[in-house]
Amino acid sequence: MQAEQISIFIENKAGRLSDVTGILAEAGINIRALAVADTSDFGVLRLIVDNNAKAEEALKNSGFTVRKTKVVAVKVEDKPGGLHRILEILKNARINVEYMYAFIQQSGDKAVMIFRFDQTGEAIKTLMDKGVTVIDGKTLSTL
Amino acid sequence: MIFNIEYETMPREALESIQLKRLQTVLSRVYATVPFYKKKLDDAGILPGDIKTLKDLEKIPFTTKQDLRDNYPFGMFAAPMANVVRIHASSGTTGQPTVVGYTARDINTWAELMARALSAAGASRGDIIHNAYGYGLFTGGLGVHYGAEKLGASVIPVSGGNTKRQAIIMRDFKPTILTATPSYALHLAEAAEEMGISFKDLHFKAGIFGAEPWSEDMREEIERKLNLDAIDIYGLSEVMGPGVSIECLEAKKGLHIFEDHFIPEIINPETGNALPYGEAGELVFTTITKEAFPILRYRTRDITTLNPEPCICGRTHVRMGKVSGRTDDMLIIRGVNVFPSQIESVLMQVEGVEPHYQLIVDRKDNLDTLTVRVEIGEKLFSDEVKQLQELENRISKDIKETLGVSAKVKLAEPKSIARSEGKAARVVDNRKI
């Protein structure tokens, strides 16, 4: 049920993000969700795309350090308290969220959040036990 | 002021005759007491008795930093430990320091030469010396200290660091002579200025600056900002420490080498051939009075010239020009000797680090800064920023612990460090000195 995300190391230099988006555009890859974590020197760009293998290959060929990371895509009710409910479940199960970000597209009337956990399998099981919908990677790339 | 008129102004002929006698004595000593030198001379087919003129010195093989490392820690000592009263060490290229020792007489000689050096800069009994060279394994602090006491001056052993306290001491104790690295002196001036203490109101008349290269432009800047005469001093622990040579206040043109204790030569670093006076090449030293750690034809890797012309100060000892460069890739960062290979060996001990790195040296607010860029490969790349920062901190800490120099570590994209003909441009030195 887990999904895959591509992480890319980029130095904080003008034009580096556009280098990445340029490579992906050229390879015909669609970006579905994105988040940047940064420090004063460097950033880590995290992407969900419609074709991981192709994206990874194109970026590596251009000399980027790329890594695939397991993440979990979760349906979140698009109303006050929607995200809070999910986080409460995780808190009670003592599962740590490393980071999270929002998916661009909705799934039906629900929002989609991407989570990175310290214990991916445990997190998926806990959420599903509580009736939360987890979207698998294949479905995610077709949303 | 000349501390030792007899020796410092001795006619060259008499000086050279003393040099030869002392050289012959030291050769016999090391041949008998240091297996390293015995083997070296035997291999070259030379007996101590073969050295009949100063020119014959050229027959003796060179000693290099590598020889010192090979004989770590005490293999080059020519006196038994029972007679050694002090041990100093400087950083080495592979984490192995260069160790030197001193007998009581060596310490006394060193103190005399530092007293001469302080005198040459205008210091005398009654002066208060603010000694901001580091005390410890580094020879700077203690070297100046003993010379100041020998001279009869009052020495404040303030050592390096704690700049604010130093400024207060300078204001309240009214020192008249400053001894520090040139970059630290400028840093001190700025820090004092920020505290409302102006060097114009302080009592310094001269500063003795060394342990790192500095230019004539920097001299002007220091003299203007610190309101004192800036004097260059040279030395290295392998030869003795600070006080191997010093500029005189009168000329400020070249550093007098105390030739009654050291024989300098300039050689072509490629061929090893001796070069005539005036030509630039690598400086080589032979010590002729040291007991615990005599050294024969030591290659300093420093590039300079020698000038034997008489000086207006009256000293007859030959003058070396300011050091203009190195024959190796050694960097001096805040007075600490750093070889790129040392950084490389620290990096290689971190699992997954690739040998693609670059050192960027700069001078900000008059203090040297070292930035180490390290390319990050897939093995080390984590998509969690926290882990990448931990990696940077770990490398930085390892460098500090191994080399004693602070470095900022910056992770870099793969292949972002220029590679020319397969070899990376390892060092970018942006300092204007």
A110 and A130 share one domain:
yes
ipTM exceeds 0.90: no
B-chain residue closest to A41, CA distance: B410
Task: Give the distance from residue A135's alpha carbon to the nearest chain B alpha carbon, in angstroms.
Answer: 22
Higher model confidence: residue A106 or residue B137?
B137
Q: How far is Cα B372 from Cα B394, in angstroms, rounded to an integer?
A: 13
CB contact (8 A) between residue A63 and residue B412: no
Total Cβ atoms within 10 A of residue B336: 20
A132 and A100 share one domain:
yes
**Which residue ranges does chain B devote to CATH 3.30.300.30?**
332-429
Q: Out of A45, A69, A93, pick the residue that ends a domain.
A: A69
Give the A:B interface size as CB pairs under 8 Å: 51
Q: How far is Cα B274 from Cα B286, in angstroms, rounded to an integer?
A: 14
| Domain CATH number, residue A8 | 3.30.2130.10
CB contact (8 A) between residue B383 and residue A67: yes
A33 and A90 share one domain:
no
A-chain residue closest to B374, CA distance: A11
| A5-A24-B416 Cα angle (round to 5) | 90
Q: How far is Cα A37 from Cα B387, in angstroms, rounded to an integer?
A: 12
Q: How far is Cα B362 from Cα B368, in angstroms, rounded to an integer?
A: 6
CB contact (8 A) between residue A99 and residue B384: yes
Q: What is the DSSP string of B85-112?
A: EEEEEE--TTSPPEEEEEEHHHHHHHHH
CA distances in angstroms from A110 to A64, A104, B251, listed in the order given: 34, 11, 84
Q: What is the pLDDT of residue B165?
A: 95
Q: Which helix (H) or strand (E) holds B341?
A: helix B340-348
Q: What is the DSSP string of chain A?
A: --EEEEEEEEES-TTHHHHHHHHHHHTTPPEEEEEEEE-SSEEEEEEEES-HHHHHHHHHHTT--EEEEEEEEEEEESSTTHHHHHHHHHHHTTPPEEEEEE-SS-BTTEEEEEEEESSHHHHHHHHHHTT--EE-HHHHHH-
Phi then psi for residue B49, to 5 deg, are: -70, -15
Q: How far is Cα B221 from Cα A121, in angstroms, rounded to an integer?
A: 65
Phi then psi for residue B292, to 5 deg, are: -75, -35
User: Alpha-carbon dihedral of residues B273, B276, B279, B285, nearest 10 degrees?
Assistant: 60
Q: How far is Cα B298 from Cα B163, in angstroms, rounded to an integer?
A: 36
CB contact (8 A) between residue B411 and residue A41: yes
Residues B411/B392, Cβ–Cβ less than 8 Å: yes
A81 and A135 share one domain:
yes
Is the CA virtual torsion A3, A4, A9, A14 positive or negative? negative
CB-based burial, B134-148: b 16+ in 10 Å, e otherwise: bbebbbbbbbbbbbb
Looking at residue B78, the DSSP 8-state letter turns out to be -
Longest dimension (CA), chain B: 73
Q: Out of A37, A69, A101, pick the residue that ends a domain.
A: A69
B-chain residue closest to A16, CA distance: B413
Number of domain units in chain A? 2
Q: What is the pLDDT of residue A1?
A: 78
Q: Out of A35, A54, A69, pick the residue that ends a domain.
A: A69
**What is chain B's length?**
433
Task: Give the distance from residue A108's alpha carbon to the nearest chain B alpha carbon, in angstroms.
Answer: 30
Instruction: Determine the CATH number of domain B332-429.
Output: 3.30.300.30
Q: How far is Cα B308 from Cα B9, in angstroms, rounded to an integer?
A: 13
Tell me the pairing of strands B154-156 and B128-131: parallel
**What is chain A's length?**
143
CA distances in angstroms from B299 to B306, B307, B324, B332, listed in the order given: 15, 19, 15, 17
A8 and A53 share one domain:
yes
Residues B236/B98, Cβ–Cβ less than 8 Å: no
Domain enclosing residue A105, as ranges:
70-142
CB contact (8 A) between residue A5 and residue B383: yes
B417 interfaces chain A, CB cutoff of 8 Å: no
Task: Give the distance from residue A105's alpha carbon to the nearest chain B alpha carbon, in angstroms.
Answer: 23
Tell me: the pLDDT tens digits for A22-43? 999 999 999 988 899 988 889 9
A9 and A58 share one domain:
yes
A84 and A20 share one domain:
no
Peptide bond into B294 cis (omega under 30): no
A38 interfaces chain B, CB cutoff of 8 Å: yes
A-chain residue closest to B383, CA distance: A7
CB contact (8 A) between residue B385 and residue A44: yes
Of B389, B410, B414, Cβ closest to residue A65: B414
Residues A44/A53, Cβ–Cβ less than 8 Å: no
How are the residues of chain B apportioned to helix, strand and coil, as percentages rounded to the nearest 5?
35, 25, 40
B13 interfaces chain A, CB cutoff of 8 Å: no
- Tokens 């607010």 belong to residue: B365
At the topology level, CATH places domain B5-328 in Rossmann fold (3.40.50)
**Which residue ranges does chain B devote to CATH 3.40.50.12780?**
5-328
CA distances in angstroms from B433 to B214, B218, B328, listed in the order given: 6, 7, 18
A-chain residue closest to B376, CA distance: A65
Residues B209/B186, Cβ–Cβ less than 8 Å: no
Residuewise pLDDT in 10s, chain B (433 residues): 899 999 999 999 999 999 999 999 999 999 999 999 999 999 999 999 999 999 999 999 999 999 999 999 999 999 999 999 999 998 654 557 899 999 999 999 999 999 999 999 999 999 999 999 999 999 999 999 999 999 999 999 999 889 999 999 999 999 999 999 988 898 899 889 999 999 999 999 999 999 887 888 789 889 999 999 999 999 999 999 999 999 999 999 999 999 999 999 999 999 999 999 999 999 999 999 999 999 999 999 999 999 999 999 999 999 999 988 888 888 888 888 888 878 888 888 888 887 788 999 998 877 889 999 998 888 889 888 889 999 999 999 999 988 888 999 999 988 787 665 444 467 888 886 5
Binding-face residues of A in 12-31 toward B, CB within 8 A: none
- What global pTM score does this model have? 0.74
In the chain, the amino acid numbered A105 is Q
Residues B132/B179, Cβ–Cβ less than 8 Å: yes
Q: How far is Cα B233 from Cα B5, in angstroms, rounded to an integer?
A: 20
- Tokens 């074709």 belong to residue: A51
Of A39, A42, A67, Cβ closest to residue B378: A67
Tokens of B247: 């500029």
